[in-house]
Amino acid sequence: MKNLTYCRIVLLGPPGSGKGTQAQMLSEFTGLKHIASGNLFRDHLRRGTELGTKASKFMEKGLLVPDRITIKMVTEAVLDSSCSSGFMLDGFPRNLAQAESLDDLLQGRNSAADLSLLLVVPEAHLIRRMLNRGRPDDTIDTIKTRLKIFRQETEPLIDYYRDRIQFEEIDGLGDIEEVQLRMRGVLTSSL
Ligand code: AMP
């Protein structure tokens, strides 16, 4: 990997693991751009765009938004000039097709992801955290669907990245600052 201010990180972790909060804090620490696919969708929804309307039908059921829509949206974000010194992806990729599309995108620019960080949180904690979060898509049914999809579609990415790039697991239990310190420690020692 290059250095703290120039690297491409893929953050993995189940829904409710605190990825978004941690990535935001890590982005402030490193200066790396935080790209959160869920936030991009929610932003489209707030602005009332066609993409937002399409995506919301899947989001409210806890389903993945189709790859075609998701990949195009994230590709645009990655290609934005604000990401020229690297980025931290949060919530993307969520399946193999998305991971391969990210590889192709980066390869086309003679680069690759440098590091994948997995935030580990047991399932019982995830459900409690999501119910406390109170987002519109945080009902018990959507939470169960999201966890099932994570196990079926996103979990295989753990081996995908473990086999290809530097991969680190981080214990996601504890308070926010404690987890953040662990992440910074791992990131700093990975350089
Ligand atoms: P998140 O904020 O990461 O929990 O994402 C909220 C919702 O946005 C998810 O439940 C999906 O419906 C959708 N979403 C976010 N990222 C992706 C992705 N990479 N692929 C498909 N759907 C996604």
Q: How far is the CA of 49 from the centre of ligand 1 (A)?
A: 17
CA distances (Å), 80 to each of 21, 75, 84, 155, in order? 22, 9, 7, 28
**Is the predicted pLDDT of residue 7 greater than 70, yes or no?**
yes
Atom of ligand 1 nearest to the CA of 91: 3
> What is the mean predicted confidence (pLDDT) over 64-68?
98
* pLDDT value at residue 2: 61
Q: What is the torsional sign of CA 158, 162, 166, 167?
A: positive
1: confidence class by pLDDT, cuts 50, 70, 90 = low
pLDDT of residue 85: 85
pLDDT tens, position by position, 97-128: 999 999 999 999 989 999 999 999 999 999 99
> Ligand 1 centroid vs 7 CA: distance in angstroms?
23
Exposed, middle or buried, 141 (CB in 10 Å: 0-12/13-18/19+)?
A: exposed
Q: Indicate which atom in ligand 1 lies nearest the CA of residue 19.
A: 3
pLDDT tens, position by position, 18-46: 999 999 999 999 999 999 999 999 999 99
**89 alpha carbon – ligand 1 mean position (Å):** 12
Percentage of the chain exceeding pLDDT 90? 90
| Ligand 1 interacting residues, C-beta cut-off 6 A | 15, 37-38, 41, 58-59, 62-65, 70, 91-92, 94, 98, 146
Distance (angstroms) between ligand 1 centre and the Cα of 38 equals: 5
All domains of the chain in start order, with CATH = 7-185 (3.40.50.300)
Residue from 82, 78, 153 nearest 109 by CA: 78
Q: How far is the CA of 59 from the centre of ligand 1 (A)?
A: 7
Nearest-CA residue for ligand 1 atom 14 is 38
* Ligand 1 pocket, mutate which of 59, 101, 149, 150 (most atoms under 8 A from CB): 59
Q: What pTM does this model have?
A: 0.96
Mean pLDDT of the residues in the chain:
95
Percentage of the chain exceeding pLDDT 70 = 99
